Chain A
Amino acid sequence: MVKKIITGNIAAAWGARLSRAEVIAAYPITPQTIIVEKLAQFVSDGELKAEYLHVESEHSAMAACIAASQMGARAFTATSSQGLLLMHELLHWASGARTPIVMANVNRALAPPWSVWVEHTDMMSQRDTGWIQFYAESNQEVLDTLLICYKLCEDKEIQLPAMIGLDAFYLSHTSEIVDIPDQELVDKFLPKYEAQYPIDIENPLSVGSLSMPHQWYPEFRYKIYEAMERVIPRLNQIEEDFYKQFGRRYTGPLELYNTEDAEVVLIISGAAAGTVKETVDILRKKGVKVGAIRLRIFRPFPQEELVKALSNVSFLGVIDRSFSFGHEGAIFSEIKAALYGAKNSPPMKNYIAGIGGRDITTDTIKKIFDNCFNCLKKNKIDTHIEWVDIKV
Chain B
Amino acid sequence: MKKLEKLVSVKDLPEAPVSNVPSLNQKTGTWRVFRPDVDKEKCIKCSICWRCCPDISIDVDEEGFPIINYNYCKGCGICAHECPKNAIKMEREGK
Chain A residues at the B interface, C-beta cutoff of 8 Å = 96-98, 159, 196-197, 203-209, 211, 215-216, 219-220, 222-223, 227
Contacts and interface: CB of A to CB of B under 8 A. Distances in A.
B9 to A, nearest CB: 8
A208 B17 contact: yes
Interface residues of B, number: 12
B19 A196 contact: no
A126 B10 CA distance: 26
A317 B16 CA distance: 40
B20 A223 contact: no
B13 A97 contact: no
Given A197-B1, A215-B7, A216-B7, A207 B13 contact: no
Contact of A220 (B1, B17, B20): B17
B41 interface: no
Given A203-B20, A204-B20, A98 B15 contact: yes
A211 B16 CA distance: 12
B14 interface: yes
Contacts of B7: 215-216
B4 to A, nearest CB: 10
Contacts, number: 48
B15 A223 contact: yes
The binding surface of chain B is classed by DSSP as loop
Interface of B: 1, 7, 9-10, 13-20
A144 B67 CA distance: 64
A227 B15 contact: yes
Given A208-B17, A211-B17, 12 more contacts: A97-B16, A197-B1, A203-B1, A203-B20, A205-B19, A205-B20, A206-B19, A207-B19, A216-B7, A216-B13, A219-B10, A220-B17
Contacts of B10: 216, 219, 222-223
Closest 4 CB pairs of A and B: A98-B16, A219-B10, A206-B19, A205-B18
Contacts of A97: 16-17
B66 to A, nearest CB: 28
B80 to A, nearest CB: 31
A96 B10 CA distance: 15
